[in-house]
Amino acid sequence: KNEVEQSPQNLTAQEGEFITINCSYSVGISALHWLQQHPGGGIVSLFMLSSGKKKHGRLIATINIQEKHSSLHITASHPRDSAVYICAVRSNTGNQFYFGTGTSLTVIP
Amino acid sequence: NAGVTQTPKFQVLKTGQSMTLQCAQDMNHEYMSWYRQDPGMGLRLIHYSVGAGITDQGEVPNGYNVSRSTTEDFPLRLLSAAPSQTSVYFCASSYWGVRGRTGDGANVLTFGAGSRLTVL
């Protein structure tokens, strides 16, 4: 069973397009992370959410706790946004982290 | 600089050889963990620890050993490397439980830079 499901698995966009990546989870959580991994690179945390919405530059993350769903939006996408985006949640019972399999984003100039 | 230091970045082994991946953090995090990342599989938990002297198995523990003698260090040992252990390995750390911590800091999750291991 997968505690965290992401969609789409792969995404190709033209530069400037608005992008949405979705994450659904099945466990109770204390926090949700959106992670970014560039090809051959390390994993960095873009956002940590426990409620509501956060914005960093062109990136916006939202979470709906009741519906167990989060979205990552990228406005005015750029080729440097090309990366794998991973949704991770921290269980509020066992404190474990569960990870989605990632969304591979390619932004074409 | 505060963070997770993971070494080596690259390693090539022959089948049957042993090695240790090092992981150290200086953020006083109780929770440390090792993951392997394979194409199409996402991050899979190998072993984790919630404090010095405490370790437990994750989803894919076979062929790997860990120990946690200090809060800072959490090495991953491959006892007899196999080609199936060819992967990218990540160490990550976090606080364990809120324990009076408030705000986003309680749930921070920090990764090491990764180690690419090839077993021939």
One-letter amino acid of A76: A
pLDDT of residue B35: 96
Residue among A53, A97, A98, A99 with most chain B CBs within 10 A, to mutate: A97
Q: How confident is the model over B3-27, as a mean pLDDT?
A: 96
- Tens digits of residue pLDDT in A7-43: 999 999 999 999 999 999 999 998 899 999 998 888 9
Q: How confident is the model at residue B98 (pLDDT cuts 50, 70, 90)?
A: low
- Tens digits of residue pLDDT in B23-35: 999 998 989 999 9
The minimal CB distance from B108 to the residues A35, A48, A100 is found for A48
* DSSP single-letter state for residue B73: B
CB contacts of A100 in chain B (<8 Å) are: 42
C-alpha pair distances (Å), A86 with each of A79, A100, B119: 18, 6, 27
Q: How confident is the model over A58-63, as a mean pLDDT?
A: 96
Q: How confident is the model over A39-51, as a mean pLDDT?
A: 89
CB A72 within 8 A of CB A21: yes
Q: How confident is the model at residue A77 (pLDDT cuts 50, 70, 90)?
A: very high
Using CA atoms, how far apart are residues A59 and A62, in angstroms rounded to an integer?
A: 10
Other C-beta atoms closer than 10 Å to the C-beta of B52 total: 15
- Tens digits of residue pLDDT in B35-93: 999 987 889 999 999 899 999 999 899 999 999 999 999 999 999 999 999 999 999 99
pLDDT of residue A61: 96
Using CA atoms, how far apart are residues B56 and B64, in angstroms rounded to an integer?
A: 12
Using CA atoms, how far apart are residues B66 and B9, in angstroms rounded to an integer?
A: 19
Closest C-alpha to B108, from B97, B94, B118, B90: B94
pLDDT of residue B99: 53
Within 69-98 of A, beta carbons closer than 8 Å to B belong to 86, 88, 90, 95-97
Compute the CA torsion angle B110, A23, A46, A20 (nearest 10 deg): 160
Using CA atoms, how far apart are residues A28 and A56, in angstroms rounded to an integer?
A: 26
B112 vs chain A: nearest CA distance in angstroms? Answer: 7
- A26 touches B: beta carbon within 8 Å: no
Closest C-alpha to A99, from A53, A56, A45: A45
- Tens digits of residue pLDDT in A87-105: 999 888 876 889 999 999 9
Cis upstream peptide for B8 (omega within 30°): yes
